[in-house]
Structure 1
């Protein structure tokens, strides 16, 4: 059976990853995959991505890097994304992955004009999203975990908007039949959000800002987490 490829574009804080696993582990666990059903390529570390044919699907992870950094590995990943789309590979981009997918396919990503969004937010499924194989079961609305300062500013021309929110207008989109981007983190749980909340509080203190102004809710979001298993099922049974 063909495996699902996890394209690692970054990782969480090293100390936390050492005891709790990293983005690729959380994603594979969320998809319900056995160890022999997935493999990971760390493109941030300079690893070369394999040819997209031969895989059942691919997930592009989040990252602490910014799409606007335009590093060499990002350009190489964008070129691979375009080849993967041409090859018909199902793909799911999460947060940074959502943004680099959009950039690779003709959209635009950059800093959100209204700044950081973090914690649990309400996400609304669009009319088109209600018919989507991944987003449809989440309709009409669901809660998702967020941790981002960049966003998809402009969707690719042929993208379909699937979900939106009060802060983030492009919570999810689909390009073609089975290339999805989600700005929210279906692989995050409450503990992960608490970790990022602590990081933001530390940064606020270091910058002389009031950390109490950071009202960041942390909670599990089990409804949004189901999206990962649906993506895996779609890839492995189509």
Structure 2
């Protein structure tokens, strides 16, 4: 048991009943994408104030920061606590992978700026483009220059922290991915999502009046026409998190 590599999911939102019943919660979704044999995965719901103990941080190989309904530029106490944790993890060079809100909060914690996107919601399956130079560290994965990913956000990183590099962009979002050193990576989209989770979230956003019915119908139709490149994203995320690049 002593040789087990330990990883943490820092949960920044709450599970819906649907995701809990169908996928074992968002923790289950991430574990299915990232976990491999001989690893131990733990979850801390930071949105409820649950954080790993500071003197235990060095015990973990890497940390994944999830999406959230909250704004990464917000000032909830747990958001400030999470920013402090990111700063600490960066100082000890721990692997950090941020997804959606996680991507944005990494940008903020490292000195960048996050705000509402001027172009509004981005929901559905979107193609993102890698810069040719940014693919070099991932050359062993033989990735194409474009990948499809599920998106569901209305905020974005507007300015990157210094020392960070844009890896990929889309027509709608200028900073779809970034790297900071060899140990931190942010992805605006959701490599972990399945299409049914996306359709479920579109329904939730409609019910809560975040998006209008006609937009929801159109987004669902478009989303059914395209498939995200889940296998490529899984290889990219696991390879980054586990230092295989």
Q: Distance in 2 between the 1:218 and 1:24 partners?
A: 24
CA contact (8 A) 2:11 2:45 kept: yes
Q: Distance in 1 between the 2:118 and 2:189 partners?
A: 17
Equivalence for 2:7: 4
Gaps of 5+ in 2: none
CA contact (8 A) 1:134 1:231 kept: no
Equivalence for 1:218: 223
Residues 149-206 of structure 1 show CA distances to partners (whole Å, capped at 9, x for unaligned) of 11111111111100000001110000011200000100001101111122233345xx
Gaps of 5+ in 1: none
Any idea what SS the aligned residue of 1:69 has?
coil
Equivalence for 2:136: 131
Q: Distance in 2 between the 1:9 and 1:179 partners?
A: 18
Equivalence for 2:180: 175
- Hey, which bits of structure 1, 4+ residues long, moved more than 6 A? none
Q: Distance in 1 between the 2:208 and 2:43 partners?
A: 31
Any idea what SS the aligned residue of 2:171 has?
coil
Any idea what SS the aligned residue of 1:5 has?
strand
For the pair 1:227 / 2:233, whether they are aligned, the reply is yes
Shift of residue 236 of structure 1?
Answer: 4.0
Equivalence for 1:119: 124
Equivalence for 2:41: 38
CA contact (8 A) 1:49 1:80 kept: no
Any idea what SS the aligned residue of 1:185 has?
coil
Q: Distance in 1 between the 2:7 and 2:240 partners?
A: 11
CA RMSD of aligned residues (A): 2.4
Residues 8-36 of structure 1 show CA distances to partners (whole Å, capped at 9, x for unaligned) of 11134234323422222111111133595
In the superposition, relative to structure 1, how do residues 149 and 166 fare at CA in structure 2: closer, same or farther (>3 Å)?
same
CA contact (8 A) 1:121 1:143 kept: yes
Shift of residue 138 of structure 1?
Answer: 3.2
Residues 85-130 of structure 1 show CA distances to partners (whole Å, capped at 9, x for unaligned) of 1111011000000000000000011111111000001110112321
Q: Distance in 2 between the 1:235 and 1:203 partners?
A: 35
Residues 33-68 of structure 1 show CA distances to partners (whole Å, capped at 9, x for unaligned) of 359521111111111223321211111011111112
Q: Distance in 2 between the 1:234 and 1:117 partners?
A: 25
- The normalised TM-score by structure 1 is 0.89
